[in-house]
Amino acid sequence: MGAHLDAQEAAHAALVREIDATGALSDPAWRAAFAAVPRHLFVPYYYVGRPGGYERLWAEDPDPEQRARWLTGAYADSPIATLVRDGEMVSSSSQPSLMARMLAALEVRDGDAVLEIGAGTGYNAALLCHRLGDSLVTTVDLDPEITESARRHLAAAGYHPKVVTGDGARGCPSRAPFDRIVATCTLPAVPHAWLGQCRPGARILAPLSTGLIALRVRDATSAEGCFLRTSAYFVPLRGGAAGLVPPYVGGLPRQALENELFRFLLTLTAGTLDPHEALSLWRRENRPGRERFGVTVTATSQWAWLDDPQGPYAWPLGPRRADPGSVGVSPGGP
């Protein structure tokens, strides 16, 4: 038993050092949180891909070699599939170094109330609890199986935030107002309900397209902000804001499709900009990175833009985008 605990502690410490080496733990408060919260408690079992499906690894496997594989994977700086149904991944534990970058980008302050959309394993909520205290953290997920397991994992680690089963697109009005909202699932657009549950000046950080949008909330109906440089790939949000249609990519040069930044633009403009127009724009604007793009949300609409919210390149956002190639660039917003 002692050797097992030593192995867990060594693996945990190694992961913290690895994340720290990426520069994602420059804030001592977040470094302390990652050092204090053991990831293995949140992934007592998980799935690894294999030909034809998934293999389940778990902490209580009678085979010591399999237990060692489980522990190694639990503390790898990589995402982990934690819930699989009918051969499809439904939920996962995000890459820890990406979680660290997102938490740093959330810019929390002491006393901030935070709403997390997508409970996952509960690991991210535990990190937030360590930083802010249990009473200031709310995490929401649509799937009762996910929220129940997250609640168990959190309790095992000694944390007790508010865990709510519900549609994350609707937020959590009973716990509002919030100073920060962070989503751990990909969105097709920013749910308007979130803005009404935020204090003015609140920050929203969410995966959109293949990037992370950081919005500053002006009031209950408006927000604006830019994408971070980093890429971000998450399981899509299920519920009221689901429905992003994947972009059509037929006939585009392979070299362009293999470029991650072009794929970001292609996904961001899916259904509103012909893919060939998107390629021409991307080349004409010197292959812009994510940080040159932003999103504006108003009471009646929301749109993504390049360089300027009222500039010549803007595209409406939302789950309605279903006819790639039918709409061109919209000058000055949708």
Condensed to tens digits (0 to 9), the pLDDT of residues 302-315 reads 999 999 999 999 99
Rounded mean pLDDT, 22-34: 97
Interacting residues of 274 by C-beta distance below 8 A, sequence separation 6+: 324, 325, 328
* 224 and 266 belong to one structural domain: no
What's the pLDDT at 3?
59
Statement: residue 71 has pLDDT above 90: yes
Secondary structure of residue 76 in the 3-state scheme: coil
State the CATH number of the domain containing residue 45. 3.40.50.150
Question: Confidence band (pLDDT; 50, 70, 90) for 247?
Answer: low
* 273 and 190 belong to one structural domain: no
Residue 312 falls within a domain, yes or no?
yes
Beta carbons of 39 and 75 less than 8 angstroms apart? yes
What's the pLDDT at 26?
96
* 227 and 259 belong to one structural domain: no
What is the pTM (predicted TM-score) of this model? 0.89
* 178 and 262 belong to one structural domain: no
Residue 168 falls within a domain, yes or no?
yes
Residue 56 falls within a domain, yes or no?
yes
What's the pLDDT at 237?
67
* 221 and 281 belong to one structural domain: no
* 221 and 277 belong to one structural domain: no
CA–CA distance, 86 with 303 (Å, rounded to integer): 35
Pairing of the two strands 222-231 and 293-297: antiparallel
**Domain around 54:** 2-231
Residue 247 falls within a domain, yes or no?
no
Residue 303 falls within a domain, yes or no?
yes
Exposed, middle or buried by CB within 10 Å (0-12, 13-18, 19+), for 86?
exposed
Comparing 147-151, 243-247, 322-326, which segment has the lowest mean pLDDT? 322-326
Exposed, middle or buried by CB within 10 Å (0-12, 13-18, 19+), for 77?
middle
Secondary structure of residue 187 in the 3-state scheme: strand
Mean pLDDT of the chain: 89
Residue 237 falls within a domain, yes or no?
no
Statement: residue 124 has pLDDT above 80: yes
CA–CA distance, 82 with 236 (Å, rounded to integer): 15
CA–CA distance, 280 with 253 (Å, rounded to integer): 12
Catalytic residues: 91
CA–CA distance, 152 with 160 (Å, rounded to integer): 10
CA–CA distance, 237 with 117 (Å, rounded to integer): 9
- DSSP letter at 186? B
Q: How many CB atoms are located within 10 Å of the residue 141 CB? A: 28
Statement: residue 37 has pLDDT above 80: yes
* 261 and 226 belong to one structural domain: no
- As given in the structure block, the two tokens for residue 257 are 């499709």
What's the pLDDT at 108?
98
When divided into structural domains, the chain yields a total of 2
Residue 181 falls within a domain, yes or no?
yes
Radius of gyration of the chain (CA): 20
* 220 and 300 belong to one structural domain: no
Mutual orientation of helices 123-132 and 96-106 as an angle, nearest 10°? 40
* 180 and 96 belong to one structural domain: yes
